[in-house]
C-alpha cells in the first residue's frame, strides 16, 4: 500500500509526496503554508486520482515525459518525476490511481 509522507521545506512550508509500496516517490506536491492546507491537498489527490482526465500527460523541455494531477478547479495538486519513456509515465499514472485512495499519511513534521 502507498503512503503520503508530509515533510517541511527549508522555507517552513509543508509538502507531501506519494510513495508506492516499494518506497519510490510517484507524486510530489507544491509547498503549503499550513499543515491543514497540505492535508487538504492529500485529500484532493485521493479523490482526483481516480479520474483519468485529471492527469495531464506532458513532456519537459529535455524531452522527458511526466505528468501533473489537477483538481476540479484546474489547479495542479501534484507533479511526477521525469520518466525515461511514455510507457513508464503511464505506469506512474496507474500507480498513483492504485496507491492514492487508500494510502496512509506519515507526518514527519513533528
User: Over 80: is that where the pLDDT of 110 sits?
Assistant: no
User: On the CB side of 43, how many CA atoms lie within 13 Å of its CA?
Assistant: 6
Per-residue model confidence (pLDDT) at position 87:
97
Give the predicted TM-score (pTM) of the model.
Answer: 0.94
Of the candidates 97, 81, 98, 101, the residue with the CA atom closest to the CA atom of residue 89: 81
What distances in angstroms separate CA 110 from CA 8, 9, 25, 41, one per listed residue? 9, 13, 21, 19
Per-residue model confidence (pLDDT) at position 59:
97
In sequence order, the β-bridge partners of residue 6 are: 16, 107
Q: pLDDT digits over 22-32, tens only?
A: 999 999 999 99
DSSP annotation of 53 reads G
Cα separation, 15 vs 22, whole angstroms: 20
Lookup: cell for 85: 519513456
Look at the domain 3-107 and name its fold: PH-domain like (2.30.29)
The domain spans of the chain are 3-107
Q: How many CB atoms lie within 10 A of CB 27?
A: 27
Percent of the chain scoring above 70 in pLDDT? 99
Give the confidence band of 1 by pLDDT, cuts at 50, 70, 90. confident
102, 42 contact by CB (below 8 A): no
Q: pLDDT digits over 33-72, tens only?
A: 999 999 999 999 999 999 999 999 999 999 999 999 999 9
Percent of the chain scoring above 90 in pLDDT? 97
Amino acid at each position: 500500500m502507498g503512503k503520503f509522507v508530509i515533510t517541511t521545506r527549508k522555507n517552513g512550508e509543508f509538502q507531501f509526496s506519494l510513495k508506492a509500496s516499494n518506497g519510490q516517490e510517484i507524486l510530489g506536491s507544491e509547498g503549503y503554508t499550513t499543515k491543514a492546507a497540505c492535508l487538504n491537498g492529500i485529500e484532493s489527490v485521493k479523490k482526483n486520482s481516480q479520474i483519468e482526465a485529471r492527469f495531464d500527460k506532458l513532456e519537459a523541455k529535455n524531452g522527458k515525459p511526466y505528468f501533473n494531477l489537477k483538481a476540479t478547479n484546474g489547479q495542479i495538486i501534484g507533479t511526477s518525476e521525469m520518466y525515461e519513456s511514455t510507457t513508464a509515465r503511464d505506469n506512474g499514472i496507474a500507480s498513483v490511481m492504485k496507491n492514492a485512495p487508500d494510502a496512509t499519511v506519515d507526518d514527519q513534521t513533528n
